[in-house]
Structure 1
Amino acid sequence: MLLVDFQKQLDHFSLEMQFELDREILALVGSSGSGKTTLLNCLAGIVHPDVGTISLNGQEFFSGGQKPLKIQKRKVGYLFQDYALFPHLSVEQNILYALSRGTDVSHITELTKILGITGLLGKYPHQISGGEKQRVALTRAMAVQPDILLLDEPFSALDDANRDRCQDELLRIHEKWQIPIIFVTHRIADAEKLADRILRIEKGQMTEQTVY
């Protein structure tokens, strides 16, 4: 269970978030600059709230007055909007980058099959398409066997065919792994297809929450 209750002062408004999330898919919608990515970054530990608390399955990520939990100790998978693949590393090296030596990688073999990238492992990012980069980045985010998955505009650079395929694959992964997933999108159609819940954020405020 993810528990979020914090405030973070941004340039033009205060981001005020308060919600709980079980093993569901939550879509964050709202205009650009409304605070959606900042929320993801607070969950990941890239930035920290000013006050409040964030916890996942009883583990405190952030609690006012205490030192925030380090990024490396949060079991968070994060798919960045630009995918953030290392250009000098192969697909396989990108996927394994965050893993310690000797880690069991049997789950990664399964992920590469689910996402259809087994044949890409020896290639480099500049040799694969946008849709393939998205699936590689998703595999890397899941490689650490996270307790929560964060996706920032994961489908924005994809054509319709690749978007549908990647969305279907995400649903398959969620069904199998049963972890909370939060994704940012500007497309209401994406939110309605994938999400159990939709949270609308405008100027840092939660203005609407739809439960299906």
Structure 2
Amino acid sequence: MAALIVVDMQSKQKQHDFIDGSLAVNDAAKTIPRIVQLIEKGNWEVIVVSRDCHPQNHISFADTHNKQPFEAITINDHKQELWPVHCVKNSSGFQLHSAIHDALNQSPNEVIYVDKGCDVDKDAYSAFQASSHDVQSILADHRVQNFYVCGLAADFCVKATAMEGHKVTGLPVAVVEDATAAVDDGSDWRGELQECGVYLARTTEVLL
């Protein structure tokens, strides 16, 4: 009994989102058909869909601190990466990519949407830090025995979700590496995942 976690596939043109805006991830668009395949063809106990969901003055926004995007500052002894304004709740940039949205709406599997980063003074990369739901409880309630993670971005929210998920649930976890893409192509996100006991898989293997 497996679950699929789809991370932050949010996209509207001219918005600061993860597919085609100022926070666009390299090769993000190439992940869309594979994620649609996973949604449509996988036999899932539950599909958990995470969404970045920020207030206008979120702590991670460079504008909030009168700084430039992609700088880092220290807040209460914690390093905070600063980003352009993105995924503001109920804005067009908050919405899921239309192909992902349609596939989820047509899925026979149960779909649960979870929002993270909703608190103005707290950033959250992992879906397991969602404000709206307890993802660990969702997986336990559905008696999930293992789960797969896909979406954006491989070296931030996907990595954080997989690593924290493995840690808090103790379940086998795999990141679907051809259904994700990284902000930094040179980052060793695969090695970091494997060091933490997270597996790597490909869409064709998952759907066997």
TM-score range relative to shorter protein: 0.3 to 0.5
User: Structure 2-normalised TM-score?
Assistant: 0.35
Bigger CA radius of gyration? 1
**Which structure shows the bigger proportion of residues in strand conformation?**
1
User: Structure 1-normalised TM-score?
Assistant: 0.34
